[in-house]
A and B are shown apart, each in its own frame.
Chain A
């Protein structure tokens, strides 16, 4: 009960979130959840449906969260049809007579607790009702039981009143009128300065009951829900898990039309675009009232609330609910040849109207007549459904939320990506995905409209671009646009030659753009944001079927209308325009489509550069507006025409300024925006331009530079390669945020600024986070002019090549004459001398060079000083260095990225001093778990659990003091990785449970973490396997990370690691090293502040890492709130690394980052080197602590008030404002550092569902102790999560990797198991389940055997129904799993050793598989075997459709050989034995007629062939014959 000690703060009784404070900003709130609905198709409304809805909530309680107050949930709610009988009865008591059902509407209002305000709110509502000529029937106080609420919920509770409105208009107009009443009431109220009254629902059909009661107490809270006469045919429920604990009643779901699980990644863009469309909105039905609706999206709402606003608006505007869902959350239709043409046309047409609301989403929606569910195109949130013969339709995040008799169930399934499930109460039946979509798509001749209006670039008459520049001219422009030798030599050369961005390694240690003394392009002041925890990044390579770069340009129309002209747009396959493309577009001859080119230049010779830039910008904006007024369909912003007198306006500034100007003027949707610029050259530049509004970009100078390159690729191909590289990079940048469609990425502003001042941000980049202020227009202009002067004031004629003509750069690596780096010859040499000779003077040389940054800071902390008001303490009184080093950890570097010698050296060093080394993500050799004879240990105290789960077995997990879930990595957040086959040697392969020579891919997301509640599940799984280890979660610093961290703390993590953007890497695209993430100072401060504000800080330890190099660095980290400190690069340098930055080439000449035995032999590091370094750091820290007056780190942690910014002369750095970062959150009774030493209440976690596990441990006592056989019977529910994992951990601890002999512990269970059934089950365990299981079955299976079959009494065909959920056998290394039914998406993802038989799988089956065998006795979904580099799958393909669903990049289809047949047959027989599968019996009995195909990865085949010493192909051919 550790966590409960913190007393919650008393909050004012307001409904909204606290306002922005320090680094907290309410707009970063995230949530995720459990949701479900139940509908009764057969009977009239019943109370039973309501009860069932509540029951679903109760069964999903583990998916929600509680914060610091155990009785306050993050929100729960239920949506019902209007319970007429109930209202009629209760209103009679107040002598109010209700008209008939349907003739009145009910408004569920959350009103102010202040009586005066409340009276005003009521007045606004009644005025609105009267304004729309409807009748106020009366008000009712909604009866609630406040006692069931926790204190936080109680203190923030609004007053609940219902208003009843009599219908005075025609029936069809009534819902619309109610909508208009609600909009008017709230908009009038908010214009009058009230926080508008929140109306949870206002409808004649549905009503919403929701709030901060615990899900299981919702019914107790709202008396209405208990009443027998509260009846409905449907109940839609939702239980929320928010990242924060701030109480917000209105953020509970369901909303008026939808309930949502997931996250809309593109929210900011969607909001901007919606706002921009408002001026074009017109509808006969709304008439002049439409003015009341704006903004359509209520500001300050969550992503779900915003989506609900738009759905609500569009449905009320006349489209059907399914139609609206299809247009806002379209399935992946691009490149889907099997989709009917009509439906594709529907999507294509609507793509011209509205960009997708993109992000992981399971959406339930209803208008009282339709009740439906849909998944986004990626289908990353689970949704299962059950249909019963008795007429119930149940959909929910999990199976098992309602109990039905097995024989009653006629269908059990899960929703597939992009699919829709619809209950039509008017028709009284389920309408299938195909049927409903076909109906909607056929309503209008969309295909004809497209045919007649869409403009295809390829169909336009080609036009030639301006002639290429001469050498001298080009070189002058290269200088004017700030090109460097690195840009040409590294970036462009790689892109033009190989068609991809170059790879680099180690982190970045150069100053931030705002701290640099050199002019940087404005692009460099922005950092990409990325998905972590609350939504997953996407793999744009392996899952490209959901990705699209298609973009439409031109003027859009009225969103409420549907006319052919609305698709009169220019369609581009991708947004990079060649010089020829742009010329063609500009010269296009269409009469009704006009293009205006506006110069993006400013006066280079004017006095007052800032003013000149501002004048030019504003003139450009005004010109753009005029062009729109004059009917331009496309505006091209162009900086061609730079000369001695005119400098380019930074293209990003111009683009965003024009975009926002037009949006504010309500004219943005009337024209498309193209940017023709010499400035953009790399992926990040294009991403920024598009992210701030550009529809397409022509980087004309880059094309010319590519042409002029001294490169190997033939000139003709270079441009294509370059475009290809940009496209590939754009997909990667989008997918980092989990965004699939360029159209939704456009304008989504998924960036934050570092070092740009509030004036520029608020005027030109509104909505962009910029936490520390910075430069203004004057500085931006002067940087542009510096470049310009370099081009026009200094002759270029000496240059022989472009490279000779430009600046060195030196951003990626230290170069003479280039950018400054903290790691330079001097610091590397001094540090190595210090640790090798134990030379304190040399350490001082080193630390002084790092710490004393003078007027040229490198880092944010370099801008600071200490300013303690405490009396200094004698050095002897400061806690000893031996204590301090226990808080030190080395960074997560996999064995594979660094050499075995370097890896083990770190482990030995850290074990000697009581610190922690980190295994990294590549598993760990089991031999290292055993201490060495001399007492040393090579065991990594921290074992990482990363997305690929390499080597993550039960035995690995129990050999850890800390289990670290790596969500992201500083050098490449949001990206996966790849260890190419040629680097996988025997040893690495063994540790990663693979075979040498097979490529090992790390997916961008953890496929079991798509949301915060998923993370909670994984934490739970890990704690079950190893209850002794603490669980930490590694995040990367970005704006909003504090909010995520709060959610992570609530998910029961014990420790949170905040990594800086600058951390090292073995290999990463250069652009990711440079352009994603923020310095740890920001992320750490935000995390600490938000946790303290939430009362969560005491629960978790915070660890920070990212280029920590000295005791001074550690001191600042502690003051900003870190308990522990990670070092990676510096210990490597101490071990001999000399920053070659060649880790990715395997050529490290000092044996640190290489697997080459010749080079490994050169490794010279010793544990003493690492230890000496850490002690030097600790001693330096101690002197600082003594000076500042802190005796212990605990005392010091979180005292940001001791930090004072230094006065700097540096023209840019002096503008920075650190107030928000250095704000000390002073809470009452809240800790500023972690309390206790380790884990937050594991026992408490288990109390929710662990009793079955306890019983299992108890029952298996003899097996655990003596290896005796045991057989047990158990009953499971969906609350029994990670069933078997605790036993697996116990067995692994005692019996190691070997486990017990097969079948020692046999469990015969019935029921519906919760998530992670059989996770990490070890050899010796046999878990048989009669029933079904949810997601993650057999996750990390480590040798155990699982068998799941439907209940014997079931009447449905098992092989046509779903029996296990998504992501089963994820990262399994050994064992067997038999499923008599179908599985969901991503079956056997990253399996490396398990054998399994299943009777059908969803999309992405066998993704990233590297070993093992999978037999599918039924259909597969799309994208089967994507990224599959090893193992074999056998698919029963009687219909011969597999070839069309296969991802062919890495595998081939082959016929089975005789050997294959024997193997498959044996496994199918075993399947039949374990599951009594009807399907298996059928297949076996008709074996000869069945058509199996073998899915064989190319690499696997090559390796097997090599190993066997005989060609497999010949064998295969023989089998064929």
Chain B
């Protein structure tokens, strides 16, 4: 630990965000990287706790106190190694992770936590500019073939780990580009996409084969697929969105958030989209239903597209401004948060339940809602508290209900858990031998950091499983 008293001398300073009126006019990242000197000073606030609660907070078990110390001592190259030891894509988590580590930081008991996320991003970006993206192919190839289905964070993490263990890995992606949710789910103003490309290049160098635009169930058939590979990692995510069953749902201008966000990311990536199916907020009054991160991404995207107004509705009541005693540290604080997108100009409303949409000419023109209260865990509409919101675009960002059943899940006959996710054991093994599940497909909708952690965990499980089983090809040959 560089400075035992650092936390008493240095106050928390976060990364700067570019001014709102500047950033809403472009699609580049809103965060301005902090100078390394500032980050190094911030790192001195880390107390190297006897129990680093940040470890508990971080699903990856990032060695936060250790790399904080290295950053503080100016040994950022060593910090890169220490960071990469637990995290395949720190440049991603350093940008978009909600940082549960910071929530559980011991400094968060009475004051402000260490800027762990900023430090991580700084280390990661430094790494990418230097050595972190150099391929590290395995010295010994095992000759075993592993398929990874889905190229989101879980799939990529699993693929990289497995490749480094010497297995021949093929990553299948239904979309036209590799990256899954990272590619099409996260707006560029939060994370620009070239960092994914860097990693994909690296993984190619490590022997990973990428096959985009392949729907495995459709193009191969589950049976053949299982025969061809020694092991399969399913990492297709939990892509089935939660829908709103109300009158007017069928109207034009009512869309799932993902469809909206994906289109914008494609535009930025240079794709030309069919204008008839384009979903654009330009010049419209927009309502986003759902107060989570995806909802926020819709807000930011709408504003950048030139929406006249953006209203964001949340069913649950407005959270407290401060922690309540029943939600003590180091639990995740259930408090009101304002995302950068919301700062940019959203009108937010809480405890509002949508009753239906009004349409004109098949297109949405307004939204009927009612205020609700929660009593004993049950929601009740408030008599007479109806409201009508005029709008031309409604984006549904109410989360995801689980993996898509059609396709591999059904074809392989995988057992699901009570919540409809693919059931797997600690090593990721599903009910079908040789088939593993990683990330949202088995966990349900969650954070990128969990997806990476799952990918790593399941890769270890696959590796152990493979070391016990003879290679199919070898057995055949």
Contacts and interface: CB of A to CB of B under 8 A. Distances in A.
Interface bin, chain B: 35 or more
B331 interface: yes
B394 interface: no
Contacts of B78: 710, 800-801
A1436 B49 CA distance: 53
Give the interface centre of B5, B51, B329, B330 by most chain A CB atoms within 10 Å.
B51
B19 interface: no
A1386 interface: no
A1138 B75 contact: no
Interface stretch (B55-63, B143-151, B408-416, B430-438): B55-63
A1145 B4 contact: yes
Contacts of B66: 485
Nearest to B6: A1147
Interface in A155-188: none
B51 A813 contact: yes
Secondary structure type dominating chain A contacts: loop
Contact of A829 (B5, B52, B139, B328): B328
Given A506-B50, A800-B81, A825-B330, A1150 B55 contact: no
A1149 B47 contact: yes
B475 interface: no
B8 A1158 contact: yes
Interface string A1160-1174: 001010000000000
A1142 B4 contact: yes
Contacts of A797: 139
Interface string A796-835: 0111110110001000011111000101111011001100
B106 interface: yes
Interface string B71-105: 00001011001100110000000000000000010
B7 interface: yes
Contact of A816 (B55, B104, B136): B55
A1141 interface: yes
B4 A814 contact: no
A1140 B4 CA distance: 12
B75 A710 contact: yes
Contacts of A824: 51, 56
A836 B324 CA distance: 12
B326 interface: yes
Interface in B36-69: 47, 49-53, 55-56, 58, 61, 63, 66
Interface string A758-800: 0000000000000000000000000000000000000101111
B468 interface: no
Contact of B50 (A485, A816, A1140): A1140
A1140 B47 contact: yes
A836 B81 contact: no
Nearest to B166: A795
B328 A833 contact: yes
B331 A815 contact: no
Interface string A965-983: 0000000000000000000
Interface string A1119-1152: 0000000000000000000111110010101100
Contacts of B56: 824-826
B268 interface: no
Contacts of A1140: 47, 49-51, 106
A1138 B51 contact: yes
A837 interface: yes
Interface in B135-176: 136, 139
B181 interface: no
Given A825-B330, A829-B330, A814 B139 contact: no
B72 to A, nearest CB: 14
Given A795-B139, A801-B78, A1158-B8, A1142 B328 contact: no
Interface bin, chain A: 35 or more
A1149 B46 CA distance: 11
B131 to A, nearest CB: 9
A506 B178 CA distance: 50
B361 interface: no
Given A813-B50, A828-B51, A801 B81 contact: yes
Give the interface centre of A824, A825, A837 by most chain B CB atoms within 10 Å.
A825
Given A801-B81, A815-B55, A1138 B109 contact: yes
A1157 to B, nearest CB: 11
Contact of B109 (A823, A826, A837, A1149): A1149
Contacts of A813: 49-51
B325 interface: yes
Contact of A825 (B53, B82, B139): B53
Contacts of A1142: 4, 47, 49-50
Contacts of B63: 808, 815-816
Interface string A816-860: 110001011110110011001100000000000000000000000
A823 B49 CA distance: 13
A829 B136 CA distance: 40
Contacts of A485: 66
Give the interface centre of B53, B75, B77, B106 by most chain A CB atoms within 10 Å.
B53
Given A829-B331, A837-B326, A1147-B4, A814 B110 contact: no
B51 A823 contact: yes
B442 to A, nearest CB: 22
B161 to A, nearest CB: 12
Contacts of A1141: 49-50
B455 to A, nearest CB: 17
Nearest to A813: B50
B325 A1149 contact: no
Contact of B110 (A808, A832, A1147, A1162): A1162
Contacts of B110: 1149-1150, 1162, 1164
B82 A804 contact: yes
Given A813-B51, A1140-B50, A1149 B7 contact: yes
Interface in B180-234: none
Contact of A1138 (B49, B139, B331): B49
Contacts of A1159: 8
Contacts of B75: 710
A1164 B111 CA distance: 13
A817 B453 CA distance: 13
Interface in A696-725: 710
A172 B229 CA distance: 96
Contact of A815 (B5, B52, B77): B52
B373 interface: no
Nearest to B56: A825
Contacts of A1162: 109-110
Contacts of A506: 50
A825 B104 contact: yes
B109 A814 contact: no
B107 interface: yes
A1009 to B, nearest CB: 33
B450 to A, nearest CB: 15
Contacts of B47: 1140, 1142, 1147, 1149
Nearest to A1159: B8
A801 B85 CA distance: 12
A1139 B51 contact: yes
Contacts of A823: 51
18 contacts: A795-B139, A800-B77, A804-B82, A814-B55, A815-B63, A816-B55, A823-B51, A825-B56, A825-B330, A826-B56, A829-B328, A829-B329, A833-B328, A1139-B49, A1139-B51, A1140-B51, A1141-B50, A1147-B5
Interface of B: 4-5, 7-8, 47, 49-53, 55-56, 58, 61, 63, 66, 75, 77-78, 81-82, 85-86, 104, 106-107, 109-110, 136, 139, 325-326, 328-331
Given A795-B139, A1149-B7, 18 more contacts: A800-B78, A803-B82, A808-B63, A816-B55, A816-B86, A817-B61, A1139-B51, A1140-B49, A1140-B51, A1142-B47, A1142-B50, A1145-B4, A1147-B4, A1147-B7, A1149-B106, A1149-B110, A1150-B106, A1156-B8
